[in-house]
């Protein structure tokens, strides 16, 4: 099970390098955006290996963002899938870019 929790300002020191490693131009991949919008989207996060896992909830549905960072992707996606399955929901990713989609495939 993922150790998901709301982001705190003190998390910025470990979150920002993972976001920077993704080299995304998306405004969603900034600490400020994640931190400020967290209450709106009932967002929680965790570090899994060297990747950031962010889960959103809206209208009773759970979504994950593509996990930015570096290092192996498969074990992180598997951890996200296992977490979703533990709650009886399918793993859904939102906001996936074409390069991220290629990495997933």
The DSSP secondary structure of 38-52, one letter per residue, reads: TTTTT-EEEEETTEE
- Tell me what the pLDDT averaged over the chain comes to: 93
> Reduced to 3 states, what is the DSSP secondary structure of residue 81?
helix
C-alpha triplet 94, 30, 36: angle, nearest 5°: 85
Query: What is the pTM for the complete model shown?
Result: 0.92
Q: Is the pLDDT of residue 58 over 90?
A: no
Indicate the pLDDT class of residue 28, thresholds 50, 70 and 90.
confident
Residue 102 has pLDDT above 90, yes or no: yes
């Amino acid at each position: 099970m993922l150790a998901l929790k709301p982001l705190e300002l003190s998390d910025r020191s470990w979150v920002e390098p993972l976001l920077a490693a993704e080299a995304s131009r998306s405004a969603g991949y900034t600490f400020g955006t994640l931190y400020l919008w967290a209450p709106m989207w009932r967002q929680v996060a965790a570090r899994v290996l060297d990747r950031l896992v962010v889960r959103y909830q809206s209208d009773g549905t759970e979504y994950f963002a593509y996990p930015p960072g570096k290092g192996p992707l498969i074990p992180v996606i598997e951890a996200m899938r296992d977490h979703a399955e533990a709650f009886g929901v399918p793993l859904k990713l939102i906001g996936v870019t074409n390069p991220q989609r290629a990495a997933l495939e």
